[in-house]
Amino acid sequence: MSVELKGKLIQKLAPESGESQKGKWEKQQFVIETDEQFPRKICIAVWNDKITMLEHVAEGDLLTVFANISSREFNTKWYTDVVAWRIERESDEGTSPAPLPLEGEEIPESPEDDLPF
The ranges assigned to domains in the chain are: 2-92
Letter for the amino acid at 57? V
Q: What dihedral do alpha carbons 69, 73, 77, 80 form, nearest 10°?
A: -10
Provide block-wise average pLDDT over 10 residues at a time, the chain (117 residues).
Answer: 94 94 94 94 95 93 95 94 94 54 47 44
Q: Global pTM?
A: 0.73
Say what the pLDDT of residue 100 is: 53
Supply the DSSP symbol for 63: E
Say what the pLDDT of residue 93 is: 52
Say what the pLDDT of residue 109 is: 42
Say what the pLDDT of residue 1 is: 85
- The domain made up of 2-92 is a member of CATH 3.60.70.12: no
DSSP string of 7-39, one letter each residue: EEEEEEPPPEEEEETTEEEEEEEEEEE--SSS-
